[in-house]
Amino acid sequence: MPYSSFPTKRILTRIILILLISMVFGLLYNQFHPNGLHWRYLFNFTAYNQDLVGSHYVVISADSAMVLMEVKNLNIIDTRLAEDYSLDHIIGSVHVPLQYFLTGQFVKKLPEQGSSVLLYDENGDLDMLKFTFSLLSEQGYKEVYFLYGGYFSWLAKGFPIE
Amino acid sequence: MQIKSGVLLLLSRIILGIVFLISGILKLIDPVQFSEAILNYQVVGRVLSGWIAVIIPTLEIVLGLGLVSGVWLPEALIATAGLYVIFDVMIAQALLRGLDISCGCFNPSESGPIDFFKIMQNLILTGLSFGSVFLLFRQTDKIKI
Amino acid sequence: MFGKYSIIIFSILTIAISGITQEFELLTPHQVDLGTVMQDSVVEAVIQFRNSGDAPLKISRVQTSCGCTAADLQKLEYLPGEEGEIGVKLNTKGFSGLIRKYVTIYLEDGDPISTRVVLQTTVKSQFEIEPAYLDFQSIELKSKENGRSLRVTNNFNGPLVIEALLTNIKNLGISATQMTIQPGATEEITITYEPLQVGRADGYIDVKIKDPIETVKRIPVFIYVTKDDQS
């Protein structure tokens, strides 16, 4: 294929087109795949910048969580994988895996509205906790606590598990 | 001479194409796992890892198809070479930083660390893609950049 | 003549073979506690198993969590009665506190098709900073004097030199920015915050350590300012 001059523009355009096509197909595929990355994960993720009026999260340590559990009627949510939850989990916690939040199924497994919620994952990944929180606050949960250091910090303290 | 380089080009683009098609399909099996593999390299954050995990598998398949079929070949080859350069840089920085992670290059569910074999594999494919680009444009009469 | 019977023999054999499945028996417990180790060390563990079935056992792959634990498998096929080992190396670089790594062994076919082993270890750091994060989450806009303490303990056997204490939070006061802590001693740094506006103002403090190792420890700071008369 002889070229009289190097068709940089055409090549660049086509490469960009290839990238766009891949992106569109990739997004569509992920949307329908059961273990695909939900669009909320990709777009909404860092959307929690400003304070959602009326609800905010509080990061607490394992010690504070232990105290809080006794003072309040706290609903504890475990967002880890099913196999991790079945191995052991914080006593009295409900299993709502992160996948459920990504796909919207979490609504079925939530405790009564308006109650206070303690969220925890394996090691306290704040990004994912904030994402989960943004979905919870949309559902009307005003009091949400994050367990700092996640399940590992609870284990390290030797607090009750089952 | 002309025929020889033509055959060489055909051979390399088919190999590259098939590699991309297989690796793209394997990555599509579990997108969440692939994005975790990208996070392991500790270069980008979660959102960007997610986007990369969305684009790369389909990109590999699209490029693979282009390479095998010959459609938009110059673009496919250039993009392939570019992609491999990015992969090499990622692996290099992971090694330099002493990150003990699994490659996730071909099959994201494999757990072996980035060993000599995988590095060689990637370098050979990089070389093949650049060689193909060179062969392709050598077939032109004039090249003005 | 033999042809008639061969079909029957073949069917019986097929049924008999399908009744034999591989059996993977894990000899090490499902949950292994590897004890307490020092940071940046590599912990080694061995997972032992046996083929207690009648057919050869074929392992299809060994998967480790997060890709940062190396699993060393000797070979993939094990004869009936044969025992095997998987060497696992856990790199604790960058981790502190309690960590768990999961090793999942997948068979090509058989029962059970996959087995998971949990490796647990506590990583002890050679210096400790308490608390793990600074909590300014219930302060009012009006309040001026909000103080918290950061305590740094030196578990090394030489002096710990802190080169700098940097933060990305406006209006966060740090009482000391450089110090040397003797072995075994604890120093206290006072952190104060003056609220600027309502809402979240999370950030971090980076403790830059020079001796005996060069590292930076990031302490998250969680700040939430409420309007006055609210909590």
ipTM of predicted complex:
0.83
Interface of C with A in 137-196 (CB under 8 A): 137-138
The pLDDT tens digits of the residues spanning A82-91 come to: 888 988 899 9
Statement to judge: residues A68 and A100 lie in one domain: yes
The pLDDT tens digits of the residues spanning C172-221 come to: 999 988 999 998 899 999 999 998 888 888 899 999 988 888 888 889 99
Residues in B closer than 8 angstroms to C70, CB to CB, are 100, 112-113
Q: Distance between CA atoms of A30 and A22, rounded to whole angstroms?
A: 12
How many domains, in total, are found in chain A?
2
Instruction: Judge whether C64 and B101 are in contact, CB under 8 Å.
Output: no
pLDDT at C7 over 70: no
Residue A6 has its nearest CB partner, among B61, B72, B144, at B144
pLDDT at C169 over 80: yes
pLDDT at B3: 54
Distance between terminal CA atoms of chain A?
A: 70
Residue A92, φ and ψ in degrees, nearest 5: 85, 10
Paired with B115 in beta bridges are none
Q: Which of C141, C59, C139, C169 is nearest to C103 (CA)?
A: C59
Distance from CA of C132 to the nearest CA of A (A): 8
How many domains, in total, are found in chain B?
1
Please tell me what DSSP assigns to residue C94: T
pLDDT at B111: 55
Q: Which residue spans within C74-159 are E strands per DSSP?
A: 77-78, 83-91, 97-107, 114-124, 127-130, 134-140, 146-154
CATH of the domain at A122: 3.40.250.10
Structural domain including B8 reads: 2-138
pLDDT at B20 over 90: yes
Structural domain including A77 reads: 51-157
Query: Does B143 fall in a domain?
Result: no
Q: Distance between CA atoms of A137 and A148, rounded to whole angstroms?
A: 19
- Does the CB of C100 have a partner CB in chain A at under 8 Å? yes
Interface of C with B in 78-117 (CB under 8 A): 91, 93
pLDDT at A52 over 60: no
Q: Distance between CA atoms of A106 and A38, rounded to whole angstroms?
A: 14
- Residue A71 burial by CB count (10 A; 0-12/13-18/19+): exposed, middle or buried? exposed
pLDDT winner (highest mean) among A97-101, A105-109, B55-59, C129-133: B55-59
Residues 6+ apart with CB under 8 A from C177: C164, C165
Model pTM greater than 0.80?
Answer: no
Query: Does B124 fall in a domain?
Result: yes
pLDDT at C231: 47
Query: Does A122 fall in a domain?
Result: yes
Statement to judge: residues A80 and A13 lie in one domain: no
For domain C127-226, the question of CATH label 3.50.50.60 is answered with: no
| Mean confidence (pLDDT) of chain B | 82
Query: Does B45 fall in a domain?
Result: yes
Ordered by start, the domain boundaries in chain C are 21-124, 127-226
Antiparallel, parallel or unpaired: β C160-167 and C203-211: antiparallel
Burial A103-141 (b: 16+ CB within 10 A, else e): eeebeeebbeeeebbbbbbbbbebebbbbbbbbbbeeeb
Q: Distance between CA atoms of A131 and B125, rounded to whole angstroms?
A: 39
Report, at the CATH architecture level, how domain C21-124 is classified.
Answer: Sandwich (2.60)
Query: Does A145 fall in a domain?
Result: yes
pLDDT at A19 over 90: yes
- Residue C82 burial by CB count (10 A; 0-12/13-18/19+): exposed, middle or buried? middle
